[in-house]
Amino acid sequence: MRPKARRVGVTSKSVFYAIIVHVAAAVLLVLNIDWPTHVVSSPQSEPAPVQASVVSEAEIQKQMAAIEEKEQAEQRRQQEAQEKLEELLQQKEAEEQRLAEIKERQEQERREAEELAKRKEQEQQELARLQEEEERKRQEEEERRRQEEAERQRQEEAERKRQEEAERQRQAEEERKRREAEEQRQRELAAERERQQQLQQRLEQERLESLVQSALSQYIPIIKQKVGRNWNRPAGLRDNFEAHVNVRLSQTGEVISARIVRSSGNAVFDRSVENAVLKASPLPIPQEKGVNEKFRNLNLRFRPQDMIS
């Protein structure tokens, strides 16, 4: 349902200006009234003609016209907004109707597709039945001709068939054994390849672990030395503190973050270690593939006596 257009009533401003107009008109009537002839005017002075009222009335009329023009413009704007709203509502109704028609058309197409699939399935079943019937008739006819043509030689034909069947079974048995042997060989080859691959992976893993351990034992002291050279020992610090820091590095050794994962119990020492790690960036790390990745995330232990102040 379309919303009804809002009727614009008389505003308080228009009432106010209407009152002003009526008051001004009354003043004009009083000033311009013809007094009775028996009233004697003073000969010394005559009233000057009033002209200011005409100017005031024109100004009032001008202002009233401007106000009315604004009100009419406001009414036209509100009317255009109402018409735009009605147009949008009509478009919405049309879109909803179009969507409903699309949905109904899709549902009809779905039903038609289901019906078509059902008919196709029925046709396939009927075709299969006809083919089966045709095959049965063909076999019956072939059997009948074979019996008519081979009646005299039935015994010989039976013997020949028995020999052929025996040969077929023999060949089938040989083929079965050959396939089983081939399958067994393929399984053994696959198992051997898998063992070789696992062995290769284990050897590679052991080699990589050995390289990593060697690199750790080689680079960790160097890293800690560089951090120690950038460490400023806090005043009054004792040597019985120990802080564990998690250090995340880039591929080239740039320090991404340094975070205390096990505090020494002394916040000043903890912060001094974090700052030393950040100032020591970049840290020396190996670049060999497979080893470099192990140095991207290090957990390092720092004690005051291990660090160069």
Q: ω before 282 within 30° of 0 (cis)?
A: yes
Number of other CB atoms surrounding residue 135 within 10 Å: 10
Q: What is the rounded end-to-end Cα distance, in angstroms, of the chain? A: 85
Number of other CB atoms surrounding residue 244 within 10 Å: 16
pLDDT (tens, 9 = 90+) of the chain, 309 residues, equals 555 545 445 455 565 666 776 666 665 565 554 444 444 444 444 454 544 445 688 888 888 999 999 999 999 999 998 999 899 789 999 889 997 895 999 899 899 969 987 999 988 999 889 799 999 999 999 899 899 898 999 999 999 999 999 999 999 999 999 999 999 999 998 998 888 888 877 877 787 788 888 888 899 999 999 999 999 888 888 888 999 999 999 999 999 999 999 999 999 999 999 999 999 999 999 988 889 888 999 999 999 887 765
- Using a cut of 0.75, tell me whether the model's pTM lies above it: no
Greatest alpha-carbon pair distance for the chain in Å reads 172
